[in-house]
Structure 1
Amino acid sequence: MTSIVSVSPADLSQRRKTLRRQRRRHTVNDIWRTLALSSLALGLLWGSTQPVWVIRNPEQISIEGNQLLSSRTIRSLLSLSYPQSLLRIEPQALAAKLESRQSLIAKATVTRQLFPPSLTVQIQERQPVALACTNVRCSLSIAAKDEKTRSQQSTVGLLDEKGAWMPIKSNPSIDKSFPLPKLKIIGSREKYLPYWSQLYQVVRRSPVKVSEIDWQDPENLILKTELGIVHLGSYSSQLVEQQLKVLDRLRQLSAKLNGRQIAYIDLKKPEAPAIQLLEPASSDKDPDTR
């Protein structure tokens, strides 16, 4: 049989006292924990207002990775007021602000350093590979002096190899020492943008240097090359690659024309290239035979 152990009143009283002491101990511990956390929070709040953790001027913001945009421009895009408590700055919010305000910035990362108090902004820029405009009168000049040129710049921009558009008009602070792309594409972006990435890779690999792509007429893609003007007809990535290889084989053409000038090279049918010559001047056709 199971024996029942009797508990005396004195034991019960002692157990109650032990439980009360444990409860008091837990309560005291909770109070101290609350006071400690409150003190820490107050200390951080106080510390955040102290000069040791304050950004007082833009020079405490380090900019890294930028080539096209000046460090001064990037600091201005942050729109920070000074002095600024370092602990109140939200790095992710600042990075998102940079990416949304400047199309040349593909990715931004902002980190804080407490000692010494500073910010580091790491920039990954989009790399322009071509100047894009809607008509032949666009200019590579960034610094527009007259109103006419400024109005033209509203339709002028830069393209990266994936087709990201970077309007020049909104980027007057592009570092003037940075070389702009030599390649130009003319025409409506809506028409060529679906093919741009593929077309750029073909042109980049071309054995013949291409300086301009004219897409104003989708039925006749025109290239300005080191060998002259070339008419390609309707765009096809495989056909363009073949046409450029044929063009490379025509390098010795000018020597065979005995000084006659070429209007353009017709490669619409790359298996049967044709040459359109300029009409000779009247003085050349009808020399004075007095």
Structure 2
Amino acid sequence: MSQTQTRPLPPGAERRRQLRQQRRRERLRNLWRLLVLAGLAAALGYGLLRQGWTLTGPEQVEVLGSRQVKADQVIQAAKLRFPQTLLGLEPRRIADELAATLPVEQVQVIRLMAPPRLRVTLVDREAVARAQRRTPRGMEQGYVDRLGQWMNSSQGQLLNGEEAAGLLVKGWHPRHRAALTEVLEQRASLGKDLLEIRFEPAGTLWLRSASLGDVRLGPADAQLKRRLNVLEHLVKELPPQLKGRQLRSLDLSDPEQPELAIAGPAPTPAKSP
């Protein structure tokens, strides 16, 4: 009669078996921890998206850098509606809409998460003159800024127009911006009585001054700066024989040979009895 004999386990085999079981239990515990943490993170993220990272009112819109544009104007121009999730906003689109609608030179839009808010940083544009331009629908009234850029009437109404009211730019066109900017830069040195900057359809540039009358500057070419310097000199040091006489026109097409047209003789001072 045969008997089955049980072989003894090699030394350390039982210990290795226990270690393998322990590692399996540890892996299962780690897997459960990972699943629980993933669920909590998903729930927290969903809650933040639905409640935490949401603009609930206008007070969460910050406007920095502008002295004239207020938060309500930004909200209206950007077409913001509340409540609004932050992640649903497109900063580039908002910046483009604000730049096209508001009197600003630069726009930066940033979404901030803690606490949730929308930060809009602006650099103001300033109207320096009234302006007219011809469009397919007729003559349009507006303004220009210091860079010669067009500003529509709604943009100009947001600004203090007292300084801009005394100067009118006629015949504005994008191709004239560089020449217009050059004239505006020298506006202070040309005298406070500068009333008009006019571009003719052919491109000839004219100025109208209360003291010098009409000034023909000619084409807006490389000699424009030289012509403006000559005009500045005449404004400061008008020849004695011309003082007290009204000029009908001044032609600076050739800045080396200015041509003046006199309106009439100088008034004769009254004799004392």
TM-score by length of 1: 0.66
Aligned residues: percent identity?
22
- 1:194-215 CA deviation, whole Å, 9 max, x = no partner? 54444443x2463534442211
Task: Give the distance between the partners of 2:254 and 2:92, measured in 1 at CA.
Answer: 55
Task: Give the distance between the partners of 2:161 and 2:242, measured in 1 at CA.
Answer: 40
CA contact (8 A) 1:103 1:166 kept: no
- Residues 54 and 178 (structure 1 numbering): CA distance in 2 closer, same or farther, change over 3 Å? farther
CA contact (8 A) 2:74 2:98 kept: no
- 1:158-193 CA deviation, whole Å, 9 max, x = no partner? 33344443332xx26832546463543222514413
Match of 1:75 in 2: 75
1:60, CA displacement in angstroms? 3.9
Is residue 157 of structure 2 the alignment partner of residue 174 of structure 1? yes
Task: Give the distance between the partners of 1:188 and 1:176, measured in 2 at CA.
Answer: 20
Match of 1:272 in 2: 257
Q: Between Structure 1 and Structure 2, how many residues are aligned?
A: 249
Task: Give the distance between the partners of 1:64 and 1:244, measured in 2 at CA.
Answer: 41
Moved more, 11-20 or 241-250: 11-20
CA contact (8 A) 2:230 2:255 kept: yes
Match of 2:3 in 1: none
Is residue 177 of structure 2 the alignment partner of residue 193 of structure 1? yes
Instruction: Give the counterpart letter for 2:230 in structure 1.
Output: Q
Task: Give the distance between the partners of 1:151 and 1:69, measured in 2 at CA.
Answer: 30
Match of 1:158 in 2: 143
Unaligned stretches of 5+ residues in structure 2? 1-8, 266-273
Instruction: Give the counterpart letter for 1:277 in structure 2.
Output: I
1:226, CA displacement in angstroms? 4.7
- Residues 127 and 16 (structure 1 numbering): CA distance in 2 closer, same or farther, change over 3 Å? farther
Equivalent of 2:230, from 228, 239, 243? 243
Moved more, 225-234 or 174-183: 174-183
1:221, CA displacement in angstroms? 2.0
Task: Give the distance between the partners of 1:220 and 1:151, measured in 2 at CA.
Answer: 21
Decide which structure has the larger Cα Rg and report it: 2
Q: Which has the higher strand share?
A: 2
- Residues 242 and 124 (structure 1 numbering): CA distance in 2 closer, same or farther, change over 3 Å? closer
Task: Give the distance between the partners of 2:217 and 2:259, measured in 1 at CA.
Answer: 11
Is residue 247 of structure 2 the alignment partner of residue 262 of structure 1? yes
SS where residue 270 of structure 1 aligns?
Answer: coil
Task: Give the distance between the partners of 1:112 and 1:69, measured in 2 at CA.
Answer: 21
Task: Give the distance between the partners of 1:91 and 1:46, measured in 2 at CA.
Answer: 21
SS where residue 240 of structure 1 aligns?
Answer: helix
1:247, CA displacement in angstroms? 1.9
Task: Give the distance between the partners of 1:227 and 1:173, measured in 2 at CA.
Answer: 28
Task: Give the distance between the partners of 1:14 and 1:91, measured in 2 at CA.
Answer: 61
1:72, CA displacement in angstroms? 2.2
Task: Give the distance between the partners of 1:160 and 1:264, measured in 2 at CA.
Answer: 28
CA contact (8 A) 1:70 1:175 kept: no
